[in-house]
Structure 1
């Protein structure tokens, strides 16, 4: 098993000059290295649909976790069900927070996502993922460098200080066009909100159509001065 001290020298030469821009190479290495000690945390946006398909090619019985905040769009749940039917061998788990929405409202106030969106994300996303990754060495994410300025320095393999683990990001070199070319070529199930101007899809109260065509995440937490939910604010990035 690789440690923080040894994985960098093993992975720095991953080749991105191939049809999947290094993604399949990275996934094969990751599952050979970590086997079942590797979890994919998937949001089931279009990047998620692509990465689920690639993961299935490498490890058909991989574990995939969706952080079910109970605030997602109906379309998001529909694409999860479509993925379960297309890839029945994958273990797709819906991880829920300790607090129901009613309990959260009673403890922290109604519509916490408006009052304190960081706290809401922490309760409904960050802590559940922390629980899921407890004791797990590595996790997969669909981050791409093109998505936002906060993700431009993401590497294939990253030391994740937030979750004390290794974060593997196979799609860092993929463009928005690359993602859609692959999805259409392989007829992948995808969230239909993408067809209505939603390039980045999170919880329903905090997501709207993109406000800026050049900023794929401009519809997330609009007007709240918030760029990330907290899952990707690692000490190493």
Structure 2
């Protein structure tokens, strides 16, 4: 299916071309990797990719990681997607016994105490569940963009993910924030209402805040840490690329 903008859509020609290329790329990825999966956090980039996948009926399986600490607005996006696209997104959850053990030892908010404890929490709630979800697949997709942060400035369009052992695609790597939003608004793609409250990047509720004017797009994620450490482990390769 070729998703075309109406003549009244306020989308510039360059962005329309990006959208056309994205559709072709997703088709190509799905042909090369019939078992490809897409890990969605329901951020605006992920909703744009989901829309392209759903409307073109591509066989790319979409799942989300429910860490147990998400905003209610984020959790509700599962129902929003079901209502709009009649598609049920798979929900992948952490090992509750391991999470409970960690919380008992370090407390509900131990991640504020050190980068090590924060990464340990991210590992239990996000990395380990993602590893399970990716097991046996040959490729996965993300909604990452180079413009989002220092750790993503060298993001490749496609790369071999040495952390999880499969091909990884970042189809929106070259997109700007304004290009993403122009397509989302033109096609009336549903999105997390937290974006309208100053959250350009949305993660777990205790680890995410709204950003202030002029701040980095991911300044609200783990705001108590240095910019160079702001990845949770899902995209650990970004930290390696950003060194130096």
Q: TM-score range, shorter-chain basis?
A: 0.7 to 0.9
Match of 1:94 among 76, 84, 91: 91
Unaligned stretches of 5+ residues in structure 2 = 1-14
Q: Distance in 1 between matches of 2:165 and 2:130?
A: 12
SS of the residue 1:199 aligns to:
coil
Which residue of 2 is the match for residue 28 of structure 1?
27
Q: Distance in 2 between matches of 1:173 and 1:17?
A: 14
Q: Which one has the bigger helix percentage?
A: 2
Q: Distance in 1 between matches of 2:175 and 2:20?
A: 7
- 1:62, 1:91 within 8 Å by CA — same for their partners in 2? no
Unaligned stretches of 5+ residues in structure 1 = 1-15
**TM-score (structure 2 length as normaliser):** 0.83
**TM-score (structure 1 length as normaliser):** 0.85
- 2:137, 2:166 within 8 Å by CA — same for their partners in 1? yes
Match of 2:42 among 28, 38, 44: 44
| Structural RMSD (CA) | 2.1
Q: Structure 1: which 4+ aligned runs deviate by more than 4 Å?
A: none
- 1:26, 1:156 within 8 Å by CA — same for their partners in 2? no
- 2:43, 2:192 within 8 Å by CA — same for their partners in 1? yes
Moved more, 79-88 or 127-136: 79-88
Which residue of 2 is the match for residue 157 of structure 1?
158
SS of the residue 1:146 aligns to:
helix
SS of the residue 2:237 aligns to:
coil
SS of the residue 1:159 aligns to:
strand
Count of matched residue positions in the alignment of Structure 1 and Structure 2: 220
Q: Distance in 2 between matches of 1:134 and 1:188?
A: 30
SS of the residue 2:220 aligns to:
coil
Map 1:205-216 → 2, pairs under 5 A? 205-211=206-212, 213-216=214-217
Which residue of 1 is the match for residue 237 of structure 2?
234
